[in-house]
């Protein structure tokens, strides 16, 4: 009896094991097929990422024309052929605009890989940068230190200067010719970096006002004037201001140029004005900027958002500029004296120093008596450039192109198109880690930042510095010029891009 029971138990156990084995076998087959399917899916996703660089990393945007992107990277002088040349524009002229490779900087192929985010190319470039900064390679350092001298020497002959530096001297498309842009560029040092920025954004139909800090050495002002005098549409501001950090003088520098640009609008009928500093650099071609500005549909574009509590102190109390020994870097000092209410009948908003204003908005800023009173009221506030423009943009409907003060119209720096900045402390949470180095809490971009930057919608990025990472500036410079030429070829040949 016991033997019979134990035999039955053994058979039941064996049967249960057999069932478990069958279930396990079926499950494994299913998982294997699922794994294959997932691998295929992941492979497709990876291939799609490599070819299109979609939104997988930190607001990375699709490229509107992937073929255009590929042609931009791989452009060679031999490929610049214009099927339907115009009276002025020819394949020969476009070929003359292609930058020659610098033997001391990354090759064209390496720049293409860097733009694609290739880790090996980025690391090779970073090693080259370390080598360049080493005392063992002093000659390379001296070579880059002489760039400013070379630029100024070339500028003694304007025709040779514009030709050798490959400035664009003919409007490249009818669309760009019909849509001039005005620029305010405020600078105080680094002539060579200023000249690179000017070349990167220069178009003969645009207008450029350069404000040089009045404290800058006379030799610096002279150098900027020498470069500016080579162009009919580039000029130094007629009124120069001593610019101090966090002081109203930063706003005054912009206003000085806005006045000059408005006075010259009978010569150049510019549509929008964009203000820059010497360490900004474009992320878009001029044609792309024109289309971005058209897409604003008559509105201004700048950072403007509800003021955080900790920033309200900036205009609730009076601030004074210390009269210490360091006249080049003085920060406004808070007093215990409370300020009166703002003369504008709108709440105060925060923002940044950078703006994109339509002409009618500039005209209003320069002539409206209430705005003049508001500007005067801000002369003793702290860092007024970070709340004046943001507040004026919400003075609706008084300022042309403005937004209503409702919180729904708030724009931060990632949503606006004016300027892309990587702030310290926001790495990995808001955007990829800074591949360059931080200076006063702001990322000075390195080559590893380029791939991400060029997928954003912003027109400009801050900061680039040729003295810190010349490879990043060189590769971005080449990419923009190649893209400009490719877009022009397509536009003239097809009638559109």
Distance of CA 183 to the CA centre of its chain: 14
pLDDT of residue 118: 86
Measured from the Cβ of residue 299, the count of other Cβ atoms closer than 10 Å reads: 14
pLDDT of residue 265: 97
pLDDT of residue 363: 98
pLDDT of residue 258: 98
Q: Where are the domains of the chain?
A: 58-134+420-457+467-497, 168-418
pLDDT of residue 73: 59
Catalytic residue annotation:
386
pLDDT of residue 41: 35
Q: Check residue 435 and report its DSSP letter.
A: S
pLDDT of residue 50: 36
Q: Which of 454, 448, 443, 456 is nearest to 477 (CA)?
A: 454
In angstroms, rounded to a whole number, what is the distance separating the alpha carbons of residues 417 and 302? 7
Beta partners for 420?
461
User: Would you call 444 exposed, middle or buried from its count of C-beta atoms within 10 A (0-12, 13-18, 19+)?
Assistant: buried
CATH number for the domain formed by residue range(s) 168-418: 3.90.550
- Measured at the CA of 436, the angle between CA 430 and CA 442, to 5 degrees, comes to 55
pLDDT of residue 65: 54
Coil vs helix vs strand at 269: coil
Which pTM value belongs to this model?
A: 0.83
Q: Check residue 411 and report its DSSP letter.
A: B
User: Would you call 414 exposed, middle or buried from its count of C-beta atoms within 10 A (0-12, 13-18, 19+)?
Assistant: middle
Measured from the Cβ of residue 136, the count of other Cβ atoms closer than 10 Å reads: 7
Give every residue of the chain whose pLDDT is below 70, as ranges: 1-88, 103-109, 134-147, 324-329, 496-497
User: In the chain, how many H helices and how many E strands?
Assistant: 19, 13
């Amino acid at each position: 009896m016991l033997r019979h029971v134990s035999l039955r138990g053994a058979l039941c156990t064996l049967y249960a094991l057999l069932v478990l084995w069958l279930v396990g076998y079926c499950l494994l087959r299913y998982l294997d097929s699922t794994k294959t399917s997932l691998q295929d899916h992941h492979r497709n996703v990876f291939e799609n990422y490599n070819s299109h660089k979609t939104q997988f990393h930190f607001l990375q945007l699709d490229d509107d024309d992937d073929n255009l992107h590929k042609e931009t990277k791989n452009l060679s002088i031999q490929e610049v052929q214009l099927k339907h040349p115009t009276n002025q524009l020819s394949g020969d002229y476009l070929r003359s605009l292609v930058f020659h490779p610098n033997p001391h900087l990354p090759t064209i192929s390496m720049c293409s890989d860097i733009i694609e985010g290739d880790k090996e190319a980025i690391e090779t470039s970073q090693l080259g940068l370390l080598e360049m900064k080493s005392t063992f390679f002093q000659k390379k350092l001296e070579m880059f230190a002489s760039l400013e001298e070379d630029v100024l020497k070339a500028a003694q002959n304007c025709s040779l200067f514009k030709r050798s530096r490959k400035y664009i001297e003919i409007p490249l498309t009818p669309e760009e010719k019909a849509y001039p842009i005005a620029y305010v560029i405020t600078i105080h040092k680094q002539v060579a970096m200023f000249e690179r920025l000017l070349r990167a954004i220069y178009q003969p139909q645009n207008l450029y006002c350069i404000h040089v800090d009045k404290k800058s050495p006379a030799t610096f002002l002279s150098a900027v004037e020498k470069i500016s005098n080579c162009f009919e549409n580039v000029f130094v501001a007629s009124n120069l201001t001593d610019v101090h950090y966090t002081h109203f003088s930063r706003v005054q520098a912009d206003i000085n140029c806005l006045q000059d640009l408005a006075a010259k609008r009978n010569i150049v009928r510019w549509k929008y004005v964009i203000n820059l500093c010497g360490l900004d650099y474009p992320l878009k071609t001029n044609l792309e900027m024109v289309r971005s500005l058209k897409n604003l549909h008559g509105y201004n574009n700048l950072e403007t958002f509800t003021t955080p509590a900790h920033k309200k102190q900036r205009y609730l109390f009076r601030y004074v500029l210390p009269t210490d020994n360091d006249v080049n870097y003085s920060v406004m000092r808070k007093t215990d004296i409370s300020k009166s209410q703002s003369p504008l009948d709108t709440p105060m908003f925060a923002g940044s120093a950078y703006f994109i204003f339509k002409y009618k908005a500039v005209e209003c800023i320069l002539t409206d008596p209430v705005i003049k009173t508001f500007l005067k009221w801000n002369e003793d506030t702290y860092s007024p450039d970070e709340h004046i423009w943001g507040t004026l943009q919400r003075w609706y409907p008084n300022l042309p192109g403005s937004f209503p003060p409702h919180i729904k119209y708030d724009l931060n720096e990632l949503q606006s198109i004016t300027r892309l900045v990587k702030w310290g402390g926001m790495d990995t949470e808001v955007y990829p880690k800074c591949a360059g180095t931080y200076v006063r809490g702001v990322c000075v971009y390195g080559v590893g930042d380029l791939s991400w930057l060029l997928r954003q919608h912003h027109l400009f990025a801050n900061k680039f510095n040729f003295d810190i990472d010349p490879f990043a500036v060189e590769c971005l410079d080449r990419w923009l010029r190649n893209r400009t030429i490719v877009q022009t070829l397509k536009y003239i040949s097809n009638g559109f891009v």
